Amino acid sequence: MNGRLLGGFVLLYLAASLLHFAHNAEYLSEYPNLPFWLTRVDVYLVWCGLAALGIGGLVLYRIGWQFTGLCLLAVHAGFGFDGLLHYTRAPFEAHSVAMNVTIWVEVLAAACLLLAVLAQFASRLRHAP
């Protein structure tokens, strides 16, 4: 897998996570059992921090710090599974169709990115001296 394809998976996950976070932020009061203190701005700020982590990982990967970049991208992808925590607060059925779709789109995109990162790690190990 080349860096361009990896970058595509990063963009895919960024878009999917933005979709979920934006839906979360805009419909915060409708998501079941979220903390009362959580605000719309908080949600967007967290997304910005996570996006910076992923973009930083991709930049490091592309400028030659491949191991460090891949580690950051793996962490970034791992955060994509946090959306499943919605189901610890309320069952699947308590969430709207749009909520469930945005959660699962983010999770699937994160899984694709994580698999791409793991494939890059495996490739590096195979070609290591």
Residue 57 phi/psi, 5-degree rounding, is: -60, -40
pLDDT per position as a tens digit, 13-35: 999 999 999 999 999 999 999 99
Q: How many structural domains does the chain have?
A: 1
Model confidence at 40: pLDDT above 90: yes
Query: Domain containing 35: what range?
Result: 3-126
Model confidence at 118: pLDDT above 80: yes
- Res 107: pLDDT: 98
Q: How far apart are CA 38 and CA 29, in angstroms?
A: 10
Of 18, 25, 21, nearest in space to 39 by CA: 25
State the chain's mean pLDDT as an integer: 94
Q: What is the largest CA-CA distance in the chain?
A: 54
